[in-house]
Amino acid sequence: DVKVTQSSRYLVKRTGEKVFLECVQDMDHENMFWYRQDPGLGLRLIYFSYDVKMKEKGDIPEGYSVSREKKERFSLILESASTNQTSMYLCASSTQTGVQPQHFGDGTRLSIL
């Protein structure tokens, strides 16, 4: 089974802090994604990566950056956390061929105080 692991289930940080969310997948997938999930808005894509050291902006990249130094790990960085970044963050991975469903981690519920 594909396993996508997010480092924290719950995280509380303060406004202005630099926040790191980590995601690791064990299936050698080329693609990795970061979403945020807010009630009534569904999932919105923040950034994605289709290869090591490659990154592409999604629909809402402002206030975020990412890092992909190794194929299995994709990090989301909040450079200076703000209260409007309080949300559920979901990481996913997929292959680049075939049906390509995305496999998700359990999510990190981040609260910015």
Partner 1 sequence: GEDVEQSLFLSVREGDSSVINCTYTDSSSTYLYWYKQEPGAGLQLLTYIFSNMDMKQDQRLTVLLNKKDKHLSLRIADTQTGDSAIYFCAKKEAGTASKLTFGTGTRLQVTL
Torsion sign across C-alpha atoms 54, 58, 61, 64: negative
Cβ atoms within 10 A of the Cβ of 58, count?
17
60 binds partner 1 (CB under 8 A): no
87 binds partner 1 (CB under 8 A): no
Among 25, 31, 85, 87, binds partner 1 (CB under 8 A): 31
Window contacting partner 1 (CB under 8 A); options: 12-20, 50-58, 60-68, 74-82: 50-58
45 binds partner 1 (CB under 8 A): yes
